[in-house]
Amino acid sequence: MTAKDYQAAAQKAIPPSKSYKNIPMAFLVGGLLCVLGQAVINLALSFGLEKDMASACGSISLILLSAVLTGLNVYDNIAKHAGAGTLVPITGFANSMVSPAMEFKSEGYILGLGAKMFSIAGPVLVYGISASVIYGLILVIMG
Amino acid sequence: MAKRLGRYTLQLERPVSIIGYAAAGSRKEAQGPLGKYFDCINEDSTFGETSWEKAESALQKCAVNKAIKKAGITPGDIDIMLAGDLLNQCIGSTYGARQLGIPYLGLYGACSTMAESLLLAALLTETGLANRCLAATSSHFCSAERQFRFPLEYGGQRTPTSQWTVTGAGACVTALQSGAPYVQAVTIGTIEDYGICDINNMGAAMAPAAFATLCHYFHDTETLPSDYDLILTGDLGMIGTQLLHQLMDEAKLSITANHKDCGLLIYDRLKQDVHAGGSGCGCAASVLCSYILPQLQDGRLQNVLFIATGAMMSPTSVQQGESIPGMAHLLHLSHYFEKEDASC
């Protein structure tokens, strides 16, 4: 068997992901998180907060919830079933910061926790901010 | 002294016996089908330590001490220790062995380390360069995850091809004396790379190495798969096993009837949510030392080919887009020694 034939055989041997389960779960959990965020926003609005401030309250609450659940070793068990449902909303970003911070604390607060907490979220920050700079420049030039 | 058979295989001429062996594991391994055969189980995967690396050292130390005790000797009776693990610079082994005072050789064979260390131990013993040798290896799910993959609490979904690193260790003491199980022959593996790049599909990356080593061994010894009770691979998992069967069938050396894989034996794959099976140095090591060697000792198994497979990549090579080279070393273990009467 040549390497090429083998790679084809290996590809064929891979069982498919359980999309029939994963996609509805992601939709359900992701949707529930959005409902939760909206509920917090509505609550904040009912307390008389401005719309901007109320939105921030929604985001902060979800970040806090995600960070606390990560700290309690619960988040990964939910994410195992929810997949993109917990990854895509802001909860996934919070988990990607908190989990390496917890993991690498054993290497110290500076080079462990401090440096490695960006090991997963770092690229998102770099390319997210870079994209917004480019977008800003385009807006200045075109606008 | 050991003689060379063909290009790859070394036949032992004097009886090298595994006089002591032990397997250590943690909770998930205890819950698996082989849990009751382990010598030491610590339900707490931290092993009372403050880091996962220290926990792995404690785990390996547990297996080593037990193997020495079962051999009825002390660390001072061992001339050479050969050990390795998956951690950078093999700290799991060196930190575990630092209080033993045994001349030490560190090895890196990834998940093939049990076969690598045991074959070297057998050769050093057979040639008389060492009276007794100790071969040991370990892996820990948590220390491997943080080094090769993601933090433990990171919320990701594992792919169906991914394997679960076994929190386990195995240790064997070899000596030139009578008493099953014996090491009959060893085949040193070649590095095989069929261009698999997926770090979550190690079984597929390693199967060609197991295939090559088995073919080399059968060719060198002029034997067939049916001459053995059991052909035991290290941690190919479900996908690697399927691919190895395909490769062997194509080479007209079918092993389907008597092949088992440690990665599929150690866990209940579906109930314990380990996807394609177990992996890691501790997978082959703990299955060998808990479940296989006792059967070889009492004669329930007569002839076993033990092939531990290793994926020889690093996180750096994977990030640089390199494919994953596989390696597999083989030991022929038996209940009897063919030349026992003449040699003793």
Structure tokens at A43: 């609550």
Partners of A17 on chain B (C-beta within 8 Å) are: 159-160
Question: Which is higher by pLDDT, B344 or B276?
Answer: B276
**Cα of A136 vs its chain's centroid, Å:** 24
Q: Cα separation of A66 and A68, whole Å? A: 6
Closest CA to B161 of B206, B201, B208, B197: B201
The domain in which residue B98 lies consists of 3-176
Q: Point out the residue among B158, B193, B243 whose CB comes nearest to the CB of A9.
A: B243
**Other CB atoms within 10 Å distance of the CB of residue B72:** 10
Q: Domain ends where: B131, B160, B176?
A: B176
Supply the mean pLDDT for chain B.
95
Average pLDDT over residues B144-169: 93
Alpha helices in B182-269 (DSSP H): 202-221, 237-250, 262-265
Q: Cα separation of B96 and B281, whole Å? A: 15
Question: Which is higher by pLDDT, A18 or B231?
Answer: B231
Q: Cα separation of B264 and B105, whole Å? A: 30
Partners of A95 on chain B (C-beta within 8 Å) are: 153-155
Partners of A86 on chain B (C-beta within 8 Å) are: 155
> Is B156 touching A (CB cutoff 8 A)?
yes
Same domain, B27 and B169: yes
Answer yes or no: is B344 within a domain: no
Answer yes or no: is B343 within a domain: no
Residue B342 has pLDDT above 70, yes or no: no
Same domain, B172 and B259: no
| Closest-approach residue (CA) in chain A for B211 | A1
Q: Are B107 and B308 in contact (CB under 8 A)?
A: no
Residue A111 has pLDDT above 70, yes or no: yes
Same domain, B170 and B221: no
> Is A63 touching B (CB cutoff 8 A)?
no
Q: Calculate the alpha carbon distances from B284 to A43, B193, B214, B281 in Å.
A: 56, 21, 16, 6
| Closest-approach residue (CA) in chain B for A69 | B153
Partners of B193 on chain A (C-beta within 8 Å) are: 3
Roughly what angle, to the nearest 10 degrees, separates helices A75-82 and A19-46?
Answer: 120
Q: Which amino acid is at B198?
A: D
Could you read off the pLDDT of B184-229 as tens digits, one per residue?
Answer: 999 999 999 999 999 999 999 999 999 999 999 999 999 999 999 9
Q: Domain ends where: B176, B208, B238?
A: B176
Same domain, B16 and B74: yes
Q: Cα separation of B319 and A123, whole Å? A: 14
State the pLDDT at residue B344. 39
Structural domain tally of chain B?
2
Structure tokens at B214: 């088995």
Q: Are B153 and A98 in contact (CB under 8 A)?
A: yes
Contact flag B151-A14 (C-beta cutoff 8 Å): no
- Looking at chain B, which runs of residues are DSSP E strands? 3-5, 9-26, 40-42, 80-85, 104-106, 132-139, 164-165, 168-176, 182-187, 230-233, 259-261, 278-279, 303-311, 326-334
Q: Domain ends where: B125, B157, B176?
A: B176
| Closest-approach residue (CA) in chain A for B54 | A106
Average pLDDT over residues B26-52: 96
Q: Cα separation of B302 and B286, whole Å? A: 20
Same domain, B126 and B244: no
> Is B290 touching A (CB cutoff 8 A)?
no
> Is A80 touching B (CB cutoff 8 A)?
yes
Q: Are B262 and B283 in contact (CB under 8 A)?
A: yes
Contact partners, residue B95, CB within 8 Å, separation at least 6: B53, B54, B57
Average pLDDT over residues A30-51: 95
Same domain, B11 and B149: yes
Supply the mean pLDDT for chain A.
94
Q: Where are the domains of chain A?
A: 20-142
Q: Are B237 and B326 in contact (CB under 8 A)?
A: no
Dmax (CA) of chain A: 71
Q: Which amino acid is at A13?
A: A
Q: How far is B76 from chain A (nearest CA, A)?
A: 34
> Is A102 touching B (CB cutoff 8 A)?
yes
Answer yes or no: is B7 within a domain: yes
State the pLDDT at residue A89. 85
Residue B340 has pLDDT above 80, yes or no: no
CATH assignment of the domain containing B160: 3.40.47.40
Q: How far is A37 from chain B (nearest CA, A)?
A: 19
Q: Are B305 and B330 in contact (CB under 8 A)?
A: yes
Could you read off the pLDDT of B220-265 as tens digits, one per residue?
Answer: 999 999 999 999 999 999 999 999 999 999 999 999 999 999 999 9
Same domain, B79 and B212: no
> Is B247 touching A (CB cutoff 8 A)?
yes
Contact flag A100-B154 (C-beta cutoff 8 Å): yes
Same domain, B218 and B239: yes
Contact partners, residue B161, CB within 8 Å, separation at least 6: A14, A15, B198, B200, B201, B203, B204, B237, B239, B275, B276
Answer yes or no: is B342 within a domain: no
